């Protein structure tokens, strides 16, 4: 049995589709929503990761686990998985562990990686860069008045399509040769916020007005989404504190999946409805 956490999220939903399409199984999806709907043949486990007794029940018979970090107390989740007999965990961490290791969000990811590596279970660690789906933060403003306000308008980052993280996770979960490996994952090219908005506008066949704002103004607007503990780190890794490691386009998606990494333009086309 293979358990997917974060099963209704950007990566988890795509991962379940990948696993079903590739004939992997049996599969179980963990969600807090008992009514959640998943592809045919996928079992639903209704559990909050804060509830370790419920997690233990969801882990019955599970040998492989896809774990999205940061949804609960990761150290306890990893320990519960080990005790339940899980053999292999594929963990979603973050590229910031290697690009910006010191601010709190990355330090937490780094700690989770170490806990997993010390757990005695087999592990594969995925360190994705900024997700294309972060553009959904602009969806309300685009729907309401076709405007976007963002800082660092012309800073291009190698944004990744979440389905490519899922594709690598599927390979790591179901094919040999990926245990004890850490993969930094990016998209196929760097793309700026201004270019992302242009791609969304093209997908909608409508104009969207883009306004570059200062870091201070962006901080005020992003604070409700990211909180005091993370907002400065988010602004650093999206333009305020760049380094070559963060900017580097990597070939890991294509190397492990055999298909080129998907572009932001593709993500925008697939998700245009969210901005209408």
Ligand X SMILES: NC(=O)c1ccc[n+]([C@@H]2O[C@H](COP(=O)([O-])OP(=O)(O)OC[C@H]3O[C@@H](n4cnc5c(N)ncnc54)[C@H](OP(=O)(O)O)[C@@H]3O)[C@@H](O)[C@H]2O)c1
Binding site for ligand X (CB under 6 A): 6, 8-12, 31-33, 36, 48-50, 68-72, 92, 94, 128, 130-131, 134, 162
The residue nearest ligand X at its CB is 9
Q: What distance in Å separates the CA atoms of residue 88 and residue 2, rounded to the nearest whole number?
A: 10
Residues near 126 by beta carbon (within 8 Å), at least 6 away in sequence: 90, 91, 92, 93, 165, 168, 169, 172, 183, 185
CB of 206 to ligand X, least distance (A): 25
Nearer to ligand X, 81 or 145 (CB): 81
Q: What distance in Å separates the CA atoms of residue 104 and residue 97, rounded to the nearest whole number?
A: 10
CB of 190 to ligand X, least distance (A): 15
CA dihedral defined by 263, 180, 61, 18, rounded to 10 degrees? 20
Residue with tokens 């419920």: 54
CB of 2 to ligand X, least distance (A): 17
Nearer to ligand X, 33 or 209 (CB): 33
Nearer to ligand X, 36 or 240 (CB): 36
Q: What distance in Å separates the CA atoms of residue 209 and residue 229, rounded to the nearest whole number?
A: 30
Nearer to ligand X, 48 or 209 (CB): 48
CB of 270 to ligand X, least distance (A): 15
Smallest CA-to-CA distance from 264 within 105, 109, 138 is with 138
- Per the structure block, which two tokens stand in for 120? 């005695």
CB of 8 to ligand X, least distance (A): 4
Nearer to ligand X, 146 or 266 (CB): 266
Helix, strand, or coil (residue 30): strand
């Amino acid at each position: 049995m293979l358990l997917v956490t974060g099963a209704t999220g950007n990566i988890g939903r795509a991962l379940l589709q990948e696993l079903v399409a590739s004939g992997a199984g049996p599969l179980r999806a963990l969600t807090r929503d008992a009514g959640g709907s998943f592809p045919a043949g996928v079992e639903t486990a209704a559990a909050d990761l804060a509830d370790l007794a419920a997690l233990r029940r969801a882990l019955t018979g599970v040998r492989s686990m896809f774990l999205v970090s940061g949804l609960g107390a990761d150290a306890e989740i990893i320990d519960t998985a080990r005790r339940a007999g899980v053999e292999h965990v594929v963990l979603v961490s973050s590229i910031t562990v290697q690009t910006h290791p010191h601010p709190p969000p990355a330090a937490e990811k780094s700690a989770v990686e170490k806990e997993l590596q010390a757990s005695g279970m087999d592990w594969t660690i995925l360190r994705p860069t900024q997700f294309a789906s972060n553009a959904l933060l602009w969806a309300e403003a685009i729907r309401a008045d076709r405007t976007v306000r963002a800082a660092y308008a012309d800073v291009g980052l190698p944004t990744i399509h979440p389905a490519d993280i899922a594709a690598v996770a599927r390979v790591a979960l179901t094919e040999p040769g990926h245990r004890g490996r850490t993969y930094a994952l990016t998209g196929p090219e760097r793309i700026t916020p201004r270019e992302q908005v242009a791609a969304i506008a093209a997908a909608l066949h409508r104009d969207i007005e883009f306004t570059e704002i200062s870091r201070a103004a962006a901080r005020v607007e992003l604070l409700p989404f990211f909180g005091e503990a993370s907002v400065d780190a988010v602004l650093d890794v999206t333009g305020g504190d760049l380094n070559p490691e963060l900017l580097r386009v990597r070939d890991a998606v294509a190397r492990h999946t055999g298909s080129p990494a998907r572009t932001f333009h593709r993500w925008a086309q697939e998700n245009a409805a969210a901005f209408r």
